Amino acid sequence: MSNSQVASSASLSIVPCRTNSERTKFERVAESLQGKEPCFIPPFPGSVAKYLSGTSAFQKRHGAIHPFMALRGGRPVGRIAAIINRSHNEYNRDRTGFFGFFECEDDPRTAQALFQAAESVLRSAGMESVRGPYNPSINDECGLLLDHFEIPPCLGLTWNPPYYRKLIEGRGFSLVRTLHGFNLPMHRLALPERLGRIVKRVGARSKLRLRTIDFQRLPEELEIVRDVYNATLERNWGFVPISMDDLLGAADDLRAIADPKLLLIAEADGNKAGVALTLPDFNEILARTKRTPYFLRLPYILWLMKTCRIKSCRQTVLGVVPAFRDRGIHAWLVHEQFAIAQQHHPDAILGWIEESNTEVLELVGIVGAEPRQKWGIFERKLPSGPVPGELALEF
């Protein structure tokens, strides 16, 4: 068996992606399979391929990504990446491997071959279970869409056809966590009086201050975001702390698409208390590029950024440090985030919100948010030895 061909069954081949050209082909598999679907939105050019290089920020700081494509007669019919996240395993003290960037034709044999290739890498690295999809971590896009496949994805949220769940569960995976997303139709909602009363009580007890992020001091501001994010989410299942390097690596993207008025830092009694980050839904721009040739997309996107108004936003982060959790700061931040975002966008998407985060789930109900979509995280134990009937793989 050649080094370029890992596994073969009839006309199906599973091949690793090692070169820049192969990584670009890997990125474009999703569009070749799902591009005609009304809800499919192409990624920003190069945004998937950038993760796969051995010099990528993720691979330098956190672990390794091993991408594979499924080819039939030379035509891409699927892809998957085996992900070894050292940061996750060191923090959570386990031996969990991950899969991500999964795309596949509606054929169980193709899915089985892709998972076999990814799991072989993970077993060789000593992993005891596999979890996903993560693209490539919990701090990035993650989750398999479980319902409402007729709704296009918002910035940072995933979309897939319904049959992907059948393919994943057919490999023996089980649903282990559900992530919730909500619509907030701000154009027809008023701030709830109940929330206003909570905010007044909180304001009477604490010296509250809300300010926007200062882009002239972005590294210092991102330190606050990191501290609040990590302190807030550390109790979440599967949590991995986000690093300053991660945030600084995303700083250019943040400057390009963010509206500083929607990036809020909360202070109470002179101390950092929380953050509320809202981003314009950049997918509205990417959706317009579906019929644009790949090599023309980047200049077209730059032109759209200057000429198009983005209508919706995604409220991505809402966090309060533990010292202020029982003082009504969550309600105050939700109130202010709603009020400010309402001035600039008629609609917002909230989420995802992990199913155990009952406090925030209750708050989004108070402000009038409506259930939108759910995503699932799946997991299975890895067999310790060869699986009968599966092809032996070479790397």
Residue matched to tokens 């010296």: 207
Query: Is pLDDT at 10 greater than 60 in this prediction?
Result: no
Terminal CA-CA length for the chain: 10
Q: Are 180 and 355 within 8 A, CB to CB?
A: yes
Q: What is the C-alpha separation between 321 and 383, in angstroms, rounded?
A: 40
Instruction: Provide the 3-class DSSP secondary structure of residue 284.
Output: helix
- Name residue, tokens 């007890």: 205
From the candidate CATH numbers 3.50.50.60, 3.40.630.30, 3.40.50.2300, 1.10.150.130, the one assigned to the domain spanning 7-181+377-381: 3.40.630.30
Average pLDDT over the chain, rounded to whole? 91
**Separation of CA 113 from chain center:** 25
Question: Tell me, what's the pLDDT at 196?
Answer: 81
The conformation of residue 346, written as its DSSP 8-state character, comes to S
**Hey, is 87 helix, strand or coil?**
helix
- Selected residue with higher pLDDT from 238 and 162: 162
Tell me what pLDDT residue 1 has: 37
> Which contacts qualify for 242-251: CB closer than 8 Å, 24 or more apart?
242/139, 243/61, 244/219, 245/57, 245/61, 246/57, 246/61, 246/139, 247/222, 248/219, 248/222, 249/57, 251/218, 251/219, 251/222
pTM: 0.92
Query: 359 φ, ψ to 5°?
Result: -65, -50
What are φ and ψ of residue 95, in 5° steps? -130, 65
Q: What mean pLDDT comes out for the span 312-322?
A: 91
Q: Which residues pair with 135 in a beta bridge?
A: 141
**What HEC string does 12-81 produce?**
EEEEECCCHHHHHHHHHHHHHHHCCCCCCCCCCCCCCHHHHCCCCHHHHHCEEEEEEEEEECCEEEEEEE
Q: Mind listing the pLDDT tens digit for each residue in 48-102? A: 999 999 889 899 999 999 999 999 999 999 999 999 999 999 999 999 999 999 9
214-228 confidence digits (pLDDT tens): 999 999 999 999 999
β-pairing verdict for 129-132 and 96-104 = parallel
Give the mean model confidence (pLDDT) for residues 282-301: 96
Considering the segment(s) 190-367 as one domain, its CATH architecture is 3-Layer(aba) Sandwich (3.40)
pLDDT of residue 387: 65
Report the pLDDT value the prediction gives residue 390, as an integer from 0 to 100.
62
- For the cut 90, the answer to whether the pLDDT of residue 109 exceeds it is yes
- Residue-wise pLDDT tens digits, 121-180: 999 999 999 999 999 999 999 999 999 999 999 999 999 999 999 999 999 999 999 999
Handedness of CA 383, 387, 390, 394 (dihedral sign): positive
Asked if 268 contacts 324 with a C-beta cutoff of 8 angstroms, the reply is yes
pLDDT at position 2, please? 42
The per-residue pLDDT for range 44-63, each reduced to its tens digit, is 999 999 999 988 989 999 99
CATH 3.40.630.30 domain position(s) in the chain:
7-181+377-381, 190-367
Which amino acid, 258? A
- With H, G, I as helix, E, B as strand and everything else as coil, classify residue 203: helix
Q: Tell me the CA distances in angstroms from 87 to 62, 128, 225, 246, one per residue in order.
A: 5, 16, 19, 12
Measured between alpha carbons, how far is 147 from 205 in angstroms, rounded to an integer?
A: 43
- The residue type at 235: R
Confidence of residue 3 (pLDDT cuts 50, 70, 90): very low
Span 280-295, average pLDDT: 96
Of 363, 354, 348, the closest CA to residue 315 belongs to: 348
pLDDT at residue 195 in the model: 80
d(CA 97, CA 230): 22
Angle at 227 between CA 183 and CA 232, to 5 degrees: 45
Q: At what angle do helices 329-342 and 358-366 cross, to 10 degrees?
A: 40
Output the CA angle 300-301-306, nearest 5 degrees: 100
